[in-house]
Structure 1
Amino acid sequence: MFQDPVSSGYAWIVMPVVCVMGIVYLLGLSNPRRRLPPGPKRIPVLGNAHQLPSSSQEQTFKSWADEHGDLVYADFFGCRTLIINSPSIARDLLDKRGAIYSSRPRLVTQVELIGWYPNTAFLPYQAAGRRMQRRWIQAAFGEKDAIRKYNGLQLREICTFLSNLMHTPADFTMHITRYTAALILESVYGHRITSLDDEYVTLMDHAMDATNATGPAGSGIADIFPLLKYVPAWMPGADFKRKAMYARELVWRANHLPYNMVRKAVTSGSARPSFVSELIEKAEKAGRLAEDEDYIRYAAGVLYSAGTDTTKTVLRTFFLAMVLYPEVYHKAQAEVDRVVGNNRLPTLEDRPNLPYLDCILKETYRWNPPVPLGIPHYLTEDDEYEGYHVPGDSTVITNLWSMTHDERTYDAPATFRPERFLDATSSDGELEDPRNIVFGHGRRLCPGRLFGDASVFLAIAGVAATLNIDKARDAEGNVITPEAKFFSSLISYPEAYDCDITPRSPAAMSLVAETLASISA
């Protein structure tokens, strides 16, 4: 969660701040009579900062939970932090007590330096516009009836995705990016992608890559020492500021340029129906566009950023898992063949009859949750839980990775095994479904989760119906077995890997081509 300022080269900048914080710490020690949740031993001033690595922090938090319990209390330079490592505690606190657990801590790096604002994912719970943004997104992408209007778009982009994989399979990661971007750009902005050179395809990609380079939300050195946001970027040791300023320009472009495109189209009367165009038209009729414009712009931006980044991460994880576990993929293909046949592509109506494929998607979410530490919540007032005092003004981290890798719930969690969900009883099936974990908790539950989940399911179903996935071979013909390794950042991308993707048959190629032609006609 937090960067180590000493090992990161910031020591000479932060030492004066640490001295001041040390005085505050000694003057404001917690009341010893109040029993805090257990956690690793803290030392003055540093708290637990010296025990935290700069990467794979979700695994460190899990090791703390293994030793101290699923509710862990830690302190990082005076920042009180509650780490939740089990779904049951997350439900007890974030769902049932959402009134006090639903805000956000001050996110200096993401919000104040990089400029993700006003973004519903990062806005404090009571902030103006947050509920309005969430209501807009929920209405467009969070209801089953609402997402049916995207069926045609999804089918066309699935066919394009499959066709691209058949013709240039080595570029599968680029095709995944194009697929996810195409869905969001057209549904949110009304912009249809016609080639991989489209100027908007990589716009958010670059912005998110630069944001991810600064670490998980709330983890930057400026989040620990907010005064450091004023440090000039040219100063030695201010690499955090240079990274943030680089990301800021990209984030501004990613949020403004697509919106400006729609705004001009609405003015000229040429706008295609979309999330943004409808909101602009409604705001203009109500005489509220000047007040709502920034909220519309960044509501679209969060759909673009969160939707593309998490969806492509899930799909890249799926392909990696199928390379490493070919027996799983063969079973999925057999199920699709049995239920759907060879004359059409799978649809969402087939989903209830494809339980094993659905289990594969659950296991993909579980094996590598896209946002391993979620976005931190913030406790606004003191609370009590299971006999422990939980102090207000605390950052609350949901360790989603720990929840989905708990050996008590998931046997051999490092192994990709979809059968675990087929074997689940009706009583624990709801508890163990990773979809109840990876999309967040309480009043911060992802409002666009239904659209994202449906888009991923359709993609993996279409791939299983038409393509074979195997291990790649090197120039000498030797099989390449990739490692299941993932970047440790805000988003947990799989590290680059190779695979061999081929059409299942000439008939599969014809099916995709004919379906795409019929849609485009």
Structure 2
Amino acid sequence: MTSTLAYVLCAAAVGAVVLFSSKHRRRYPPGPRGLPLVGNLFDLPRESTWLTYEAWGRKYGSDILYLNVLGTHMIVLNSTEAAREILEKRASLYSDRSVDITQHCTGWSRNFGFIEYGDKWRAHRRMFHQQFTSSVLPRYHPTLKKEVHGLLRLLADSPDNFARHIRYMAGAATLRIVYDIEIQGEDDPRVATAEKAVHVITMIMTTGSYLGKTLRIYCYIPTWFPGAKFKRDAAVWKIWVDQMYYGFYRQLKAEIDDGQERNCVASNILARFSSEEYNEDLEGTIVNTVGTAYAGGVDTTVATLSIFVMAMLLYPEVQKKAQEELDRVLKRKRLPDFEDRNSLPYTVALVKEVLRWHPPLPTTVAHKSTADDVYKGFHIPAGSLVIGNAWAILRDEQRYSNAHIFDPSRFLTEDGQLDPNVPDPIETFGFGRRICPGRHFADDFSWLTVASVLAVFAIEPPRDAQNNVVEMREDFTSASLSVPKPYKANFRLRFTGATDLIPSPIVE
């Protein structure tokens, strides 16, 4: 224990010496003044990091900030200009990832979004892109419609459980599309396993959750050592993550080898390779790719839809306007379909506004620089962690006026069509070469769900025992995946015969 602690302090001291001996030669971006040895360790926000970074930007009058945590350089980008210049135009220098010991300990290093930039990452992304490019997405539309219609039936039967229903729908649809797994109801244990595994990402991505994220030496300390809680947690979490990545895939592979026909992302990838080509390395790439497809398709979709429901409670006039558009096009005679999208610009704008108003990932996963660089005269050292603050960018008043207000009309022209001059909230999905490759799938899924729910239901605030409306307020979690804290909502059928629009379950 004594030798380990001495090693930790020695490593911190060396980092501090390097930092402070070079400060007089380098002009870093502005930021909080750090302490000797530990730098900005105690300044690092432990919750709602995006708000602190945004406030620091105003305090220091800069769209680029600098912190040093135990010798690790951190750069925060608070503007579109800085993010585009650094993460997009200079993507060759800023597309790497930092190795995070918590990802390895929990099994989430398999997520190719966390893989270091290079040939291995390119192989994963290429395999993923082939299955989720825009031209391929229509093959998934029947499954999305089936599960969205199932959500409508659940909401009609038990509207009080809307949060559970949304999570079930997202999990069921994604498991079917990725692994051809047919979920048997909301209590299916496979959904619970996958949910627990995906929840681990939120835990390990939250800044300050575990000191081991910053100080890698903690990888080698025993589980009983103070500060090693992440190692104890990881032993449990890894079981869930391994089951999600390997359990689902190997079950599918065994069924295919047994001669059963399967139609899903995993089977389509497998069909591209002969048995002679199949080896351990290829299996690892496939497992990582399809597991990442599942993880990326669930939590962000659930978060987006939960934010949507909250926005409808807070802004009933927006809900009314969207429903008027839906009624004009659908005549209350059918549910929306993907072919209706161009005829429903307000609902398209509504989904854009959900992503802009409160992005599920307010600060995206940090990039890592691979060489020294200079931006606006500021030195950015090689190896810096570069964080794009999507929240600050999407709440920038110069880009979106009255940015704190939920207003889909900001994306429309005066005659109600989508305005190509208003920037899409693409920052929600990341930056540069590391932008989420599944963003078009997520957009299709979210849009169909939003349009279908609003076509059938009026989303209203709950009432207390005296039948008074319970006041709603914006209240979100402070973790890296930021979602509304638990709240209640009423889903009321909008008109007589609304349930007749919902197709009966398909028996397969």
- Quick check: TM above 0.5? yes
Give the Å deviation of 1:22: 1.9
Q: Which amino acid aligns with 2:255?
A: A
Q: Which amino acid aligns with 1:194?
A: Q
For residue 511 of structure 1, the aligned residue among 494, 498, 501 is 501
Query: 2:70 — aligned with what?
Result: 77
Length-normalised TM-score, structure 1: 0.91
CA distances 1:148-201 after superposition (whole Å, capped 9, x unpaired)? 111211211111111111111111111111111122111110112231122222
Query: 2:281 — aligned with what?
Result: 291
* Residue 89, structure 1, aligned to residue 78, structure 2: no
* Residue 100, structure 1, aligned to residue 93, structure 2: yes
CA distances 1:86-106 after superposition (whole Å, capped 9, x unpaired)? 122211111111111001012
Give the Å deviation of 1:146: 0.3
Give the Å deviation of 1:228: 0.5
Query: 2:127 — aligned with what?
Result: 136
For residue 256 of structure 2, the aligned residue among 256, 266, 271 is 266
For residue 116 of structure 1, the aligned residue among 108, 123, 130 is 108
C-alpha distance in structure 1 between counterparts of 2:347 and 2:112, whole Å: 32
CA distances 1:449-472 after superposition (whole Å, capped 9, x unpaired)? 111100000000001111111001
C-alpha distance in structure 2 between counterparts of 1:242 and 1:127, whole Å: 33
Give the Å deviation of 1:23: 3.7
C-alpha distance in structure 2 between counterparts of 1:488 and 1:344, whole Å: 39
Query: 2:218 — aligned with what?
Result: 228
Query: 1:432 — aligned with what?
Result: 423
Give the Å deviation of 1:43: 2.6
Give the Å deviation of 1:423: 5.6
CA distances 1:52-82 after superposition (whole Å, capped 9, x unpaired)? 2311111111111112311111111111011
**RMSD over equivalenced CA pairs, Å:** 2.3
Say whether the 8 Å CA contact 1:38–1:72 is kept in structure 2: yes
C-alpha distance in structure 2 between counterparts of 1:15 and 1:477, whole Å: 63
Secondary structure of 2:253's partner? helix
For residue 460 of structure 1, the aligned residue among 441, 446, 450 is 450
Q: Greater shift after overlay, 216-225 or 84-93?
A: 216-225
Say whether the 8 Å CA contact 2:194–2:244 is kept in structure 1: yes
* Residue 36, structure 1, aligned to residue 25, structure 2: no
Query: 1:3 — aligned with what?
Result: none
Moved over 4 A (4+): 12-16, 423-431
Query: 2:390 — aligned with what?
Result: 400
C-alpha distance in structure 2 between counterparts of 1:136 and 1:400, whole Å: 27
Q: Greater shift after overlay, 283-292 or 468-477?
A: 283-292
C-alpha distance in structure 2 between counterparts of 1:290 and 1:345, whole Å: 46
Say whether the 8 Å CA contact 1:213–1:243 is kept in structure 2: no
Secondary structure of 2:374's partner? strand
Give the Å deviation of 1:327: 1.1
Secondary structure of 2:271's partner? helix
* Residue 252, structure 1, aligned to residue 229, structure 2: no
Q: How does 1:7-406 map to 2 (within 5 A)?
A: 17-28=8-19, 29-68=21-60, 69-110=62-103, 112-126=104-118, 128=120, 130-141=121-132, 143-216=133-206, 220-406=210-396
Q: How does 1:433-452 map to 2 (within 5 A)?
A: 433-434=424-425, 436-452=426-442
C-alpha distance in structure 1 between counterparts of 2:232 and 2:102, whole Å: 11
Aligned residues: 503
C-alpha distance in structure 2 between counterparts of 1:25 and 1:274, whole Å: 51
Say whether the 8 Å CA contact 2:372–2:379 is kept in structure 1: yes
Say whether the 8 Å CA contact 1:217–1:375 is kept in structure 2: no
Say whether the 8 Å CA contact 1:315–1:456 is kept in structure 2: yes
Query: 1:472 — aligned with what?
Result: 462
Query: 1:4 — aligned with what?
Result: none
**How high is the sequence identity, in percent, across the aligned residues?**
34
CA distances 1:372-405 after superposition (whole Å, capped 9, x unpaired)? 1111100000112222222111011111111112
Q: 1:291 to 1:63 in 2, by over 3 A?
A: same
Q: Which amino acid aligns with 1:191?
A: I
Say whether the 8 Å CA contact 1:161–1:179 is kept in structure 2: yes
Give the Å deviation of 1:287: 2.0
